[in-house]
Amino acid sequence: MKKVLAVLLIFCMTLSFVSCKSSLKDTSSDSTKLAVSVTFNAMAEFVAAVGRDRVNISTIIPTGMEPHDFEPKAADIAALSNSQVFIYNGLGMEVWAEEAIKAAENESLVIVVASDNSTPFHNTEEEEIEEHGQYDPHIWLSLKGAEIEVQNIADGLSSADPDNREYYETNATSYIAQLESLFNEYEEKFSSLENKKFVTGHAAFHYFCRDFGLEQNSVEDVFAEGEPSTRQLAELVDYCRENNVSTIFAEEMASPEISQALANEVGAGIETIHTIESSDDGMTYLDRMRENCEKIYKSLSK
């Protein structure tokens, strides 16, 4: 239903798009820079790491807005018409992307689906399938997934701007080395733990778990229909106690009240974990992923 509504909305916007397109001005301070549109913050971080001073990045989904609920406006479609590259995550994260590309009518636009060539995690929970489709889209929350996305982005920028191919490849290689270093550091730490299970507010960490051999249990999965029943609460409380869960990880925009209710029942603490869908007080992707790794590691070490 979300996909159908998004498609209808984009077609309805086409009439107003023409006037927006004619009035939209290039906001780049340097016309020699590659004009790149991205969907949300993690994609912007990766493009900035690869393109550095040779790209001008426009992020479509505003900070603070839930990306899963986003629907593009006519001005967003108009922005794509003036872009040289459009980068989105894929795997069902941006259900509106393909129709937006059609509506933009930009034949020279280079399209990069950052998750291409990854091995997707198939959703099994009804709530997740309804929200995202058959795949879990949160691959950027995996350091190994990020490496794939960064390389795809480097290839896309090089395709749009072949004169600077070596520059983009060099930057991508350097950034991927940083991702790999962080992965190696925490792979060793997580492999030494007996307890591999943790609880999150939203089931967004399947790929992160795959990186490190961990297992997440989501509050949202259990309480997807709203307030938990006595039986549901008892089941998750038992799970937390059996697995020595001392911390409930709540994301910035997902069910904090329910996570807090569970933490109170179990006697656990609450920690905020980054989903990197919006910018966060100047913290980089690497800053936030390190913080995620460290918080989860410490909670499992108790």
Domain covering 2-181 in this structure, CATH number: 3.40.50.1980
Q: For domain 193-301, say whether CATH 3.10.129.10 is its number.
A: no
What tens digit of pLDDT does each residue of 153-179 get?
A: 999 999 999 999 999 999 999 999 999
Averaged confidence pLDDT in the chain: 85
Do 2-181 and 193-301 agree at the fold level? yes
SS (H, E, C) the chain: CHHHHHHHHHHHHHHHHHHHHHHCCCCCCCCCCEEEEECCHHHHHHHHHHHHHHEEEEECCCCCCCHHHCCCCHHHHHHHHCCCEEEECCCCCCCCHHHHHHHHCCCCCEEEECCCCCCCEECCCHHHHHHHCCEECCHHHCHHHHHHHHHHHHHHHHHHCHHHHHHHHHHHHHHHHHHHHHHHHHHHHHHCCCCCEEEECCCCCHHHHHHHCCEEEEHHHHCCCCCCCHHHHHHHHHHHHHCCCCEEEEECCCCHHHHHHHHHHHCCEEEEECCCCCCCCCCCHHHHHHHHHHHHHHHHHC
- Give the domain ranges of the chain: 2-181, 193-301
Residues of the chain with confidence (pLDDT) below 50 = 1-2, 4-5, 7-29, 223-225
